[in-house]
C-alpha cells in the first residue's frame, strides 16, 4: 500500500462528519462546513437519516480505496 493511500485511509477512518442540518439542496456539518447535494432530494429527510447515508458513503469510499491496494498487490505479484 502506498504511503499516500495509507495516510488517506487513516485520516478518513479517524474523521467524523457530524451532520447538524439537512435540506433538499444542502447539508451542514458541526464544523460549519456546508455542502450542496449532487442532486435535489425528493423527500424530507431527517438529520439522523442523512447521517446514516453519509456514514455508509464514507465506509464505501474507504472500501474502494482499500480494494485499489488489493488490486495493486495482485498486479505486483
Categorize the per-residue pLDDT at 12 as very low, low, confident or very high, splitting at 50, 70 and 90: very high
Query: What average pLDDT does the segment 17-31 reach?
Result: 96
Per-residue model confidence (pLDDT) at position 72 = 62
Per-residue model confidence (pLDDT) at position 48 = 96
What does the pLDDT look like over 26-77, one tens digit per residue? 999 999 999 999 988 888 899 999 999 999 999 999 999 988 866 666 555 5
**Where are the chain's structural domains?**
3-76
Categorize the per-residue pLDDT at 10 as very low, low, confident or very high, splitting at 50, 70 and 90: very high
Of 52, 57, 48, 47, nearest in space to 27 by CA: 47
CA 29-32-33 angle, 5° bins: 70
Amino acid at each position: 500500500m502506498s504511503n499516500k493511500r495509507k495516510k488517506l485511509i487513516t485520516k478518513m477512518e479517524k474523521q467524523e462528519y457530524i451532520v447538524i442540518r439537512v435540506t433538499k439542496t444542502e447539508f451542514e456539518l458541526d464544523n460549519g462546513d456546508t455542502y450542496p447535494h449532487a442532486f435535489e432530494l425528493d423527500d424530507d429527510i431527517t438529520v439522523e437519516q442523512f447521517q446514516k447515508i453519509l456514514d455508509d458513503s464514507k465506509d464505501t469510499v474507504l472500501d474502494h480505496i482499500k480494494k485499489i491496494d488489493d488490486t495493486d498487490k495482485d498486479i505486483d505479484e
